[in-house]
Structure 1
Amino acid sequence: MNIELLGFVTMVLGVAVLFAPIHRAFSIMVLSTLFGAAAAFSLSGLGGASVLVPSLFLVFYGLRLFMAFGEGPVLAAVAAPRAGFWLLLLTVYALATAVFFPRLLEGMAETMTVQRIAAGRSSISMVPLAPSTNNITQAVYALGGLICFAFTFAYLRRVGSLARLASLILVLGAANLAFALLDVVTYYSGAAYLFDYIRTANYALLTGAEKAGFKRISGTFPEASAFAGYTAVLFAFIASLWLDRVRSWTSGVLAGLLLVVLLLATSTTGLLALVAVILFLGLRSAHGSVGRKPVGRPVFLAGAVLGLPLLILLTIILMPEMVERIMEFLDEILFSKLDSQSGRERFMWNAVAYQAFLDTWGLGAGLGSARASSYLLVLLSNVGLLGTIIFFIFFGSILFSKAGPGGAGQDIDDKIARAAKAGLVAGLAEALVSGTVYDLGLMFYLLAGAVAAMHMPVSGVARALAPEASRTRDAAAMPSERASH
């Protein structure tokens, strides 16, 4: 096992939060998701597979919340008929497929999978279906997603407010912008090596690429598309806050700047996720603007719908050269994507994944056995039709969950939960475009746990456990934090 510097720092912070108020554990957990290319350590026994900083801190996060609340609130998070029940069901089924399917269906299909070779390097190859270390690593990530969801549910249900989550996402947005700027500055100044301390994962690092004359921003992530996907989630969350007039000045400035860096990342994945977010927020705002008490920003929405076509027309008439350059740029990052080597390679991944789905009679090859370039095909080729259906039931139960008693758009927690839903839409849209593995990242499960905590009623068991859990929490909290409650 090779421990990285950030891994040592993470372990020190993890031990420290065990003796700190629970709010510290939640804050660090959320902020750690920014380090998407930072390995805490690598496991030589699994071919050099990297354990990322957020995944390592998740252990301490769960342990700290368990010390405060016990198992009651955590089990309540996955009790039927809550959305967490479907995630629990999916995770148990996915773990079973990882153990049994590669053995029961061995050799019956060919799959694209990661082959780990010497010196910690890896490559993606088409091989006959067989058990591999990927079944283990993806099973651990799936279990981590469930744990993150359940403990986030437990924490936010006990705190009873999403205000801290909103503040942390705003901080994340600012930090993401700072790292994006540093990425560009260090690249052009020849100091890109400074990012070597936070890009330690055993991934293919495509951090020095250019497209259409622009440096493809990758920030703290291994490539521009991963950066764009994460940035799209932050943009969706913060833009939703701005539309609902939550910290309008801060959220408006951050949303605008995140939109700029998202476009400058020149990522097809990011642009398509951005389209999905705009459509989602636009439809939601249009629906909320109808009635006696309109919510959102109906004037801005109407101005955008009416003014955008006029702006495009004026640009075409007055600046035809700029239009030509924009079209060349869009052709390179969007329209010609399928004709590129990367596009053809990813199309082959999808074709192989779909064939694996067919060759296994719709059961899937087992979690971790197959890669694709679309999350839908990842689900079908790994956990089959049944697992895919369960996942979309889980996602739908989160997305269409009922608002709190304050009413849609009226209560501050409901507005933040609406923002979390926008982030989930962005995360899934990005994955559907170019997701290669089952794991959606801990940010996805943090947001899902937040929505579930605010939009589902407290069970009788949870109510009975609340006084004891509150006493435990208060004993661990600092005086200033107790006063805030």
Structure 2
Amino acid sequence: MSLQVMGILTFALGLLLMGRRPHWMFLFMAVSTVFGTAAAISLPALGGASILVPNLFLVFFFLRMYTGYGEGPIFSAFAPPGPGFWLLLLTVFGVLSGIFLPRLFAGMTETISVTRMFGSRNFISMVPLRPTASNITQSVYAIGGLLCFAASYTFFRQTRSVTALINAMLVLAAIDLAFALADILTYFSGTAWLMDFFRTANYGMLTDSVKGGLKRISGTFSEASAFASYTLALFAVVASLWLDRLRNAYVGLLAGALFLAVLLSTSATGLAGLVVVVGFLGVRSLGASLTNPRNGRPSFLVMGGIVALLAVLVVMVAMPQFVDRIEAYLDEILFSKANSQSGRERFQWNAAAFQTFLDTSWIGAGLGSSRASSFLLVLLSNIGVAGALLFAVFAGSVLMAPTGVLGADQGAGDAIRAVRAAKAGFAASLTTAMISGTVYDLGLLPYLLAGGAAALSRSATERQQTDARVPPLVPLNGAAWASGGGTEGRGE
């Protein structure tokens, strides 16, 4: 085991925050997720696999919630029929599948797997099914996601701190954009080596590619697709807050910058996901506007659509050469993607994953045994129909949780906006994963958002149930009751 510089810094910060307010721990837990390729610890025994900064910081985050609130609130995160219950079943099922299924079906099918070469690039190849280090690492990541959900749920369940969720996401978005700008500036100034400090994981790094004359933004991630997927989730959160009229000026500028960052990443995954997310947010905001004109931004949506249409028509008529360049650019990054080497490789991954699913009689080859280029096929090839259904129930219970929130540290309006934003970010993460996700691990950001949405939503439900069970006290002597004197207000 080798401790990296970022690991030392993470240890020091984690220990420092153990004695601080839990709000600080949540903030830095959220910020740590931006370091998608920063290794805290290297594990030569597992072929040089890396424990990333967010995974190491998760230990401190979970311990802080446990020492601060005890085991009761943490266990309540897994109470049925909430999202945590289904995530717990999914995680237990996935870990057990990673232990037994590769041995049960050994040699019966071939899977796309990673061969880890310490000190060099990893190799992806089709090999006969057998137990590998990926079964261990993906199981650890699955347990990490479960603990992250439980700790996030506990934090919001106990603090009701809508402010912490909103502020953490805004700070995280600003940091992500700062690293994106640094990635561009260091590339064109010949100082890209400065970003290597944050790219120490044993991954294949595709951080210096150019497409259509544009630098493919990768930020602190291994490639443009990973950056775009992460940034799209943040865009969904921030844009949702802005469309719900939260802190208009600053949030609107931040949402616009995130939108531009996803576009400039030139990632097909990011662009396709952006279409889905923008469409979802637009329809949701329009629906809210029709219900109550003060909710959403009906005038913005209508005027934005008209201006966009007019701009397209003017460009097509006045600058046909510019249109040809845009068409060629879109053809390179989107329309001809299937005919590219990368596209053909990913289709091969999906075909192999689906064949693994069939060869194992729909049971799956075990968590971490197979890669694909779509999260759906990852689920089916790894944990089969049963695991895929468990994940679908978990995701559905997060997205369908009631948005009404009571007892929060801000007004009910801001609380509802925060829950809607958390759901939007979680949905965006699932969208990009379904488009091009290669492994079961989604990262920790979706679980932070899911835990927050579930905790705040459930607190509202339980508060309403409590109000229904306990009738309000009606004092006979309102003045005496208001002043706290006597028992006559209760009829005693």
Query: Which residue does 2:146 correspond to in 1?
Result: 146
User: What is the CA–CA distance in structure 1 between the aligned matches of 2:139 and 2:361, rounded to whole Å?
Assistant: 22
Query: Which residue does 2:235 correspond to in 1?
Result: 235
1:175 aligns with 2:175: yes
| TM-superposed deviation, 1:305 | 3.1
Query: Which residue does 2:132 correspond to in 1?
Result: 132
User: What is the CA–CA distance in structure 2 between the aligned matches of 1:168 and 1:10, rounded to whole Å?
Assistant: 18
Query: Mean alpha-carbon deviation: is it higher for 447-456 or for 296-305?
Result: 296-305
Q: Secondary structure at the match of 2:124?
A: strand
* Amino acid across the alignment from 1:354: F
| TM-superposed deviation, 1:459 | 5.9
Q: Are the aligned partners of 2:113 and 2:370 in contact in 1 as well (CA < 8 Å)?
A: yes
Query: Which residue does 1:429 correspond to in 2?
Result: 431
Q: Secondary structure at the match of 2:290?
A: coil
| TM-superposed deviation, 1:119 | 2.9
Query: Which residue does 2:40 correspond to in 1?
Result: 40
* Amino acid across the alignment from 1:420: A
* Amino acid across the alignment from 1:441: G
1:449 aligns with 2:451: yes
| TM-superposed deviation, 1:410 | 6.0
Query: Which residue does 1:270 correspond to in 2?
Result: 270
Q: Secondary structure at the match of 1:112?
A: strand
Q: Are the aligned partners of 2:216 and 2:224 in contact in 1 as well (CA < 8 Å)?
A: yes
| TM-superposed deviation, 1:163 | 1.2
| TM-superposed deviation, 1:291 | 2.6
User: What is the CA–CA distance in structure 1 between the aligned matches of 2:192 and 2:444, rounded to whole Å?
Assistant: 27
User: What is the CA–CA distance in structure 2 between the aligned matches of 1:450 and 1:315, rounded to whole Å?
Assistant: 44
Query: Which residue does 2:415 correspond to in 1?
Result: 413
* Match runs of 1:240-389 below 5 Å: 240-389=240-389
Query: Which residue does 1:162 correspond to in 2?
Result: 162
Structure 2 residues without counterparts, runs of 5 or longer:
467-492
Q: Secondary structure at the match of 1:456?
A: helix
Q: Are the aligned partners of 2:77 and 2:84 in contact in 1 as well (CA < 8 Å)?
A: yes
Q: Secondary structure at the match of 1:234?
A: helix
Structure 1 residues 331 and 116, CA gap change in structure 2 (3 angstroms): same
Q: Are the aligned partners of 1:39 and 1:50 in contact in 2 as well (CA < 8 Å)?
A: yes
Q: Secondary structure at the match of 2:119?
A: helix
Q: Are the aligned partners of 2:91 and 2:142 in contact in 1 as well (CA < 8 Å)?
A: yes
Structure 1 residues 270 and 404, CA gap change in structure 2 (3 angstroms): same
User: What is the CA–CA distance in structure 1 between the aligned matches of 2:291 and 2:103, rounded to whole Å?
Assistant: 58
* Amino acid across the alignment from 2:167: S
Query: Mean alpha-carbon deviation: is it higher for 361-370 or for 168-177?
Result: 168-177
| TM-superposed deviation, 1:405 | 4.6
Query: Which residue does 2:479 correspond to in 1?
Result: none
| TM-superposed deviation, 1:120 | 5.0
Q: Are the aligned partners of 1:406 and 1:414 in contact in 2 as well (CA < 8 Å)?
A: no
Query: Which residue does 2:219 correspond to in 1?
Result: 219
Query: Which residue does 1:188 correspond to in 2?
Result: 188
Q: Are the aligned partners of 1:349 and 1:372 in contact in 2 as well (CA < 8 Å)?
A: yes
Structure 1 residues 120 and 65, CA gap change in structure 2 (3 angstroms): farther
User: What is the CA–CA distance in structure 2 between the aligned matches of 1:19 and 1:382, rounded to whole Å?
Assistant: 40
| Cα offsets for 1:63-108 (capped at 9, x unmatched) | 1110001111111111001111111111111011011100111111
| TM-superposed deviation, 1:254 | 0.6
Query: Mean alpha-carbon deviation: is it higher for 205-214 or for 114-123?
Result: 114-123
Q: Secondary structure at the match of 2:291?
A: coil
Structure 1 residues 207 and 402, CA gap change in structure 2 (3 angstroms): same
Give the 4+ runs in structure 1 shifted more than 2 A: 117-121, 291-294, 304-311, 457-460
Q: Are the aligned partners of 2:84 and 2:150 in contact in 1 as well (CA < 8 Å)?
A: yes
| TM-superposed deviation, 1:23 | 1.6
* Match runs of 1:103-118 below 5 Å: 103-118=103-118
User: What is the CA–CA distance in structure 2 between the aligned matches of 1:317 and 1:114, rounded to whole Å?
Assistant: 50
Structure 1 residues 226 and 327, CA gap change in structure 2 (3 angstroms): same
| TM-superposed deviation, 1:165 | 1.4
| Cα offsets for 1:229-287 (capped at 9, x unmatched) | 11101111111111011111111001111111111110001101111111110111121
Query: Which residue does 1:477 correspond to in 2?
Result: none
User: What is the CA–CA distance in structure 1 between the aligned matches of 2:302 and 2:140, rounded to whole Å?
Assistant: 47
Q: Secondary structure at the match of 1:324?
A: helix
User: What is the CA–CA distance in structure 1 between the aligned matches of 2:231 and 2:293, rounded to whole Å?
Assistant: 32
Percent of aligned pairs sharing the same letter: 53
Query: Which residue does 1:49 correspond to in 2?
Result: 49
Query: Which residue does 2:94 correspond to in 1?
Result: 94
1:25 aligns with 2:51: no
Structure 1 residues 118 and 58, CA gap change in structure 2 (3 angstroms): closer
User: What is the CA–CA distance in structure 2 between the aligned matches of 1:109 and 1:303, rounded to whole Å?
Assistant: 55
Q: Are the aligned partners of 1:36 and 1:222 in contact in 2 as well (CA < 8 Å)?
A: yes
* Amino acid across the alignment from 1:126: M
User: What is the CA–CA distance in structure 2 between the aligned matches of 1:204 and 1:372, rounded to whole Å?
Assistant: 17
* Amino acid across the alignment from 1:440: L
**Residue-pair matches, total:** 460
| TM-superposed deviation, 1:216 | 0.5
Query: Mean alpha-carbon deviation: is it higher for 431-440 or for 111-120?
Result: 111-120
Q: Secondary structure at the match of 2:251?
A: helix
Using CA pairs under 8 Å that are at least 6 residues apart, name the structure with larger relative contact order, 1 or 2: 1
* Amino acid across the alignment from 1:130: R
User: What is the CA–CA distance in structure 2 between the aligned matches of 1:292 and 1:406, rounded to whole Å?
Assistant: 20
What CA RMSD, in Å, does the superposition of the two structures yield over aligned residues? 1.6
| Cα offsets for 1:427-470 (capped at 9, x unmatched) | 1111111100001110000000010011114769xx9xxxxxxx
Query: Which residue does 1:472 correspond to in 2?
Result: none
User: What is the CA–CA distance in structure 2 between the aligned matches of 1:133 and 1:448, rounded to whole Å?
Assistant: 28
User: What is the CA–CA distance in structure 1 between the aligned matches of 2:19 and 2:266, rounded to whole Å?
Assistant: 44
Structure 1 residues without counterparts, runs of 5 or longer:
464-485
Query: Which residue does 2:80 correspond to in 1?
Result: 80
User: What is the CA–CA distance in structure 1 between the aligned matches of 2:306 and 2:184, rounded to whole Å?
Assistant: 35
Query: Which residue does 1:476 correspond to in 2?
Result: none
* Amino acid across the alignment from 1:449: G
Q: Secondary structure at the match of 1:27?
A: helix
User: What is the CA–CA distance in structure 2 between the aligned matches of 1:198 and 1:292, rounded to whole Å?
Assistant: 46
Q: Secondary structure at the match of 2:51?
A: strand
* Amino acid across the alignment from 1:86: W
* Amino acid across the alignment from 1:197: F
User: What is the CA–CA distance in structure 2 between the aligned matches of 1:154 and 1:410, rounded to whole Å?
Assistant: 20
Q: Are the aligned partners of 1:217 and 1:224 in contact in 2 as well (CA < 8 Å)?
A: yes
User: What is the CA–CA distance in structure 1 between the aligned matches of 2:372 and 2:333, rounded to whole Å?
Assistant: 20
Structure 1 residues 163 and 123, CA gap change in structure 2 (3 angstroms): same
User: What is the CA–CA distance in structure 1 between the aligned matches of 2:299 and 2:21, rounded to whole Å?
Assistant: 43
* Amino acid across the alignment from 1:66: Y
**What is the TM-score of this pair, normalised by structure 2?**
0.91
